[in-house]
């Protein structure tokens, strides 16, 4: 009786698994690309101008930025900046980003609607934090009191 049960189990395994009782599995793993940036400058950065006695004048706001990219390749990354709409006449907005080791900062750059390089030659993959970031708002002639909100977009992208 015991022999018949053992023989039946053996035959069942042979039918289910063939002569090899193992089941091969294909497991695919992937790592998604990471391209992230953040800043210590508040999401809503405000330049308050109370007097315009000394024209032209400039106001500066500073902070730090960080980014991470895990992509590989030989061309590297760059950071570009643009505004959502043009600045009013006689006003100018500049951005300066410190470059990470191996990268190149474009220095103090006038920002407009059209994306412009701020940092180029960023080695990849890399993680950098504590890099200097400076915004400068300049007025060259008298303008009426008002709010002039603009959205600055910084984009980490392929070189």
Choose among 112, 43, 46: nearest CA to 83.
112
| 57-69 vs 91-97, strand pairing mode | unpaired
pTM: 0.77
pLDDT tens-digit readout, 115-126: 999 999 999 888
Dihedral sign for Cα 70, 75, 77, 82, please. negative
pLDDT tens-digit readout, 3-48: 444 444 444 555 555 566 778 888 888 888 888 888 887 767 777 6
């Amino acid at each position: 009786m015991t022999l018949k049960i053992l023989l039946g189990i053996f035959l069942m395994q042979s039918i289910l698994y063939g002569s090899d009782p193992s089941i091969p599995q294909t497991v695919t793993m992937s790592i998604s690309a990471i391209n992230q940036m953040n800043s210590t400058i508040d999401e809503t950065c405000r330049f308050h101008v109370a007097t315009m006695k000394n024209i032209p004048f400039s106001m500066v706001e500073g902070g730090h930025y960080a980014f991470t990219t895990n992509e590989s390749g030989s061309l590297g990354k760059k950071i570009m900046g643009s505004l959502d709409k043009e600045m009013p006449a006689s006003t100018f907005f500049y951005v300066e980003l410190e470059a990470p080791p191996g990268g190149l900062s474009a220095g103090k750059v006038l920002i407009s609607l059209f994306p412009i390089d701020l940092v180029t030659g960023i080695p990849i993959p890399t993680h950098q934090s504590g890099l200097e970031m400076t915004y400068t708002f300049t007025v060259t002639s008298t303008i009426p009191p008002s709010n002039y909100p603009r959205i600055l977009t910084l984009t980490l992208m392929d070189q």
